[in-house]
Amino acid sequence: MTSTSRPNQTIRREFSRTTGAIAVTAPGPDVLLQSMQNRALNAMQDFTGALGTLVPALREERPAETASRNPLLLPALLLAYVTAMMVFSLCVRCWAPLHTDMTEMAAWGQQFQLGYSKHPPLAAWGAGAWFLVMPHTNWSFELFAVLVSALGLAGIWATAGLYLDSRGQRLAMLPMILTPALTTWAFKYNANSILLALWPWTTYFFLAMLERSRLRDAVLAGCLAGLAMLGKYYSLVLFATLFVVLLMHPRRNAVLSSAAPYIAVLVGLVVIAPHVWWVYETGASTIAYAIEKTHFDIADSRATTLRSVAGSLLTLLGPALFMALAFRDDRAGLTGRLGQGLRDPARRWFIVLAWGPLLFTVLAHLATNIRIGGDFLIPAFLMVPLAFLVQLGPPMPARPAVRLTGGVLAVLLIGAVLSPAIGVAAFLTQRPPGLEPRAELAAAVTDIWRGATKTPLKQVTGVERIATAITFYSDDHPDYLDGAKTFQFTRDDPRIVRDGLVFVCASEDAECLGHAHRTLGEDGVQRYTYTGSHRVFGYAGPMSSFQIFLVAPRAETAK
């Protein structure tokens, strides 16, 4: 560590720390592959054990009326799903720094608020609650993301159970495991992925309310709808869909003349009321962020939305192919049953249930020019298999359910077996910032701060992907001072005066460095440089450099 003096007498320190260089001798891809295979072995044994519990269910061909009596079937299927997903995660994902969306949610979740700068609060609350009891590690966070998806699959199962037997439940739930929404995209926990859990259960309790008009179902429907709104405002398209479903449902008159729908609306409003108050008090930053999504060139917005919609529809090809193979024995009869169902007015509302979210998303784009990214549509197609099966009508034959179950489990098993090789390929082809040494940087920043101030690190800011990663990986888990683009705070902010601040930028990021200088000034700022690489099983990634600006707490407030 060296000290230099500038003409204005500001003391600045340069700190250089290297965790490894590209030129060092490192194990080759074959050693890395063997290491990943060993890491996956124990999890694979758990997965095959989960498959073993399903063998009796796969072989059963009971009559449809008795096909709903195996209470272990859903837990066994979900166990197989979670195990396979985590094997894949450990081999393909957990060696890389977490996605910015995830570390951002974890950073927000450390500070309980009724809303955050971009999104309503539920996803951040979920992450914050998880890390009250679980370690801040990649595998832990990705396990949470997978469990959220599994909860959504259980919601699809429950919704299908309102109209179908257990064979139909399998046929409604399992195809969704073949989509990116419930596999590769599900690992990235954010305000979109939490809807995978919320939308199916909101739909379940809403439909249960329509079928039974029970107070409990109405209360839970309203509660889940409120939580969905606290997950992301995009849930409005689900509410629009469910409203049309209500108007088309055969029991609409009975339901509308009961107290159930009005109780549901009231409960939902109560659930979101604190957030609405927060939006009013804080200047509606979440709404402003949503409005920003409409400020795009119309042609660019149209093209992006078209690509997203087309890409999302293409993700249904895998499930469609597997369903076609499962029902291959009676295609003529299948076509006749499907046509009969489509002509039945009592079942027509299921089509709206399945495709309404996509339709209302497109209408929102046309009306407001909001640019629809692929993530928007993650929860949009969860009810498509159910709608197809209801059009077929009961009974659900046993053989398609057995075939589909076996096919989906085979896909999960193959993915788990191949995950070490996929992980090696992903590592060798990864590019910055996917291999930034963010955990190593967090350790270095924490050491620098403790050495300079003799106190725990309490606050960090900078570009989101870097600052929130420090919040996540640092042993001190400092608060994230939000506002990486606008930095609407100064050195005189009471939080900085009291606790100090670390401001971190990539060395080549001129915009961030400019923000740091404008926000902090020069007086009393200590500056360090960190240079290092991320290592995976001894194999070094590319070198990265970061600038660290340290503002110590004022002595009179730090006591």
Q: Name the helix (H) or strand (E) containing 320.
A: helix 317-326
3-state secondary structure 422-447: HHHHHHHHCCCCCCCCHHHHHHHHHH
Position 285 scores a pLDDT of 82
Distance CA 553, CA 558 (A): 6
Provide CB contacts within 8 A for 267, sequence distance 6+.
218, 219, 221, 222, 223, 226
Higher pLDDT, 312 or 286: 312
Distance CA 370, CA 366 (A): 8
Q: How confident is the model at residue 389 (pLDDT cuts 50, 70, 90)?
A: very high
State yes or no: pLDDT of 37 exceeds 70: no
Residue 81 CA, distance from chain mean position = 16
Contact 378, 196 (CB under 8 A): yes
Distance CA 461, CA 506 (A): 12
Position 159 scores a pLDDT of 97
Position 522 scores a pLDDT of 83
* Helix-helix angle 260-282:195-212, to 10 degrees: 150
State yes or no: pLDDT of 110 exceeds 70: yes
Position 229 scores a pLDDT of 97
Pairing outcome for strands 459-462 and 11-14: unpaired
Report the range of poorest mean pLDDT among 275-279, 371-375, 415-419: 371-375
Task: Determine the 3-state secondary structure of 458 from DSSP.
Answer: coil
Q: How confident is the model at residue 38 (pLDDT cuts 50, 70, 90)?
A: low
State yes or no: pLDDT of 555 exceeds 80: no
Q: Which residues of 363-384 are buried (b: 16+ CB within 10 A; e: fewer)?
A: ebbeeebbbbebbbbbbbbbbb
Distance CA 295, CA 114 (A): 26
Domain spans in the chain, listed from the N-terminal domain onward? 2-19+437-558, 30-428
Interval 223-230 mean pLDDT: 98
Task: Determine the 3-state secondary structure of 82 from DSSP.
Answer: helix
Distance CA 105, CA 46 (A): 30
Residue 451's alpha-carbon distances to 49, 54, 448, 557, 558, in angstroms, are 49, 56, 5, 19, 15
Higher pLDDT, 518 or 390: 390
Give the bridge partners for 503, in sequence order: 461, 549
Q: How confident is the model at residue 484 (pLDDT cuts 50, 70, 90)?
A: very low
Position 173 scores a pLDDT of 97
Report the range of poorest mean pLDDT among 6-15, 130-139, 418-427, 486-495: 6-15
Provide CB contacts within 8 A for 314, sequence distance 6+.
none
In single-letter form, the type of residue at position 256 comes to L
Position 35 scores a pLDDT of 53
Distance CA 294, CA 8 (A): 46
Higher pLDDT, 5 or 546: 546
Interval 248-277 mean pLDDT: 96
End-to-end alpha-carbon separation of the chain, Å?
Answer: 27
State yes or no: pLDDT of 496 exceeds 50: yes
Q: Any idea of the CA torsion for 465, 467, 473, 478, to the nearest 10 degrees? A: -150
Position 8 scores a pLDDT of 33
State yes or no: pLDDT of 71 exceeds 60: yes
Each residue's pLDDT tens digit, 132-169: 999 999 999 999 999 999 999 999 999 999 999 999 99
Position 223 scores a pLDDT of 98
Interval 70-90 mean pLDDT: 95
Higher pLDDT, 372 or 10: 372
Position 95 scores a pLDDT of 87
Backbone φ and ψ for 526, nearest 5 degrees, come out as: -95, 135
Each residue's pLDDT tens digit, 347-372: 999 999 999 999 999 999 999 888 88
State yes or no: pLDDT of 21 exceeds 50: no
Distance CA 77, CA 175 (A): 13
State yes or no: pLDDT of 7 exceeds 60: no
Interval 106-113 mean pLDDT: 94
* Helix-helix angle 317-326:384-392, to 10 degrees: 30
Position 100 scores a pLDDT of 93
3-state secondary structure 145-165: HHHHHHHHHHHHHHHHHCCCC
Position 97 scores a pLDDT of 92
Report the range of poorest mean pLDDT among 12-16, 171-175, 465-469: 12-16
Other C-beta atoms lying within 10 Å of the C-beta of residue 191: 24
State yes or no: pLDDT of 256 exceeds 80: yes
Give the bridge partners for 546, in sequence order: 506, 530
Mean residue pLDDT of the chain comes to: 86
How many CA atoms within 13 Å lie on the side-chain side of 324? 6
Interval 78-93 mean pLDDT: 95
Position 62 scores a pLDDT of 44
